[in-house]
Amino acid sequence: MSFPYNFRSVRKGIFVLYYSNNKPMHIQSFAVSLTVDDVPASSQFLVTHFGFTEKMAADGFASLTHEQSGTNILFMQTGIEVLPPFMRQVRNSGSILAFVTTNIEAEEARLRQAGVPVVLPLQVEAWGEKLFMVADPNGVILEVVEWVSSGSR
């Protein structure tokens, strides 16, 4: 299979995607797409607890946007025919959706009070990051992060 794109290293570990004519790809927006068993449950979880808006939904599909951050997340139902056959039965696993916020202690308390399963309690990392993790009804892991010091990023 041939693709009309090339990767070019711009610094160690950082690559830029170019069309074969060596011009950078024009990207207008970005979305993460996750395959889950219960699309409405994951969609409603992000709407209720993280302030997303469901922009489009159909049988086995939902597209969500967070207006403030510009974050886009898509959920597709396991088995949906729009996926290539080799991906239809693959469920999201190992992905972590990370959200940077402020006042992380209040966010953790709010989510706990709402009954959201906290799978990793609030902790502070040596490199200057506070974080905790929650799980949505499909087991999608969401990490909530606050940078303690701007020089540690």
Per-residue pLDDT tens digits for 11-47: 555 555 555 666 777 778 889 999 999 999 999 999 9
Report d(CA 22, CA 7) in Å as an integer: 9
Domains of the chain: 5-152 (3.10.180.10)
Res 24: pLDDT: 73
Res 19: pLDDT: 56
Could you tell me the strand order of the sheet in which 71-77 lies?
32-36, 71-77, 61-66, 53-58
* C-alpha closest to that of 111 among 32, 50, 20, 42: 50
Share of the chain above pLDDT 90, in %: 65
Chunked in runs of 10, what are the mean pLDDT values of the chain (153 residues)?
A: 52 55 75 95 98 96 95 95 88 91 96 98 93 97 88 47
Report d(CA 52, CA 93) in Å as an integer: 22
Q: Bridge partners of 8?
A: 16
Q: Which residues contact 74 (CB under 8 A, 6 or more apart)?
A: 31, 32, 33, 34, 61, 62, 63, 64
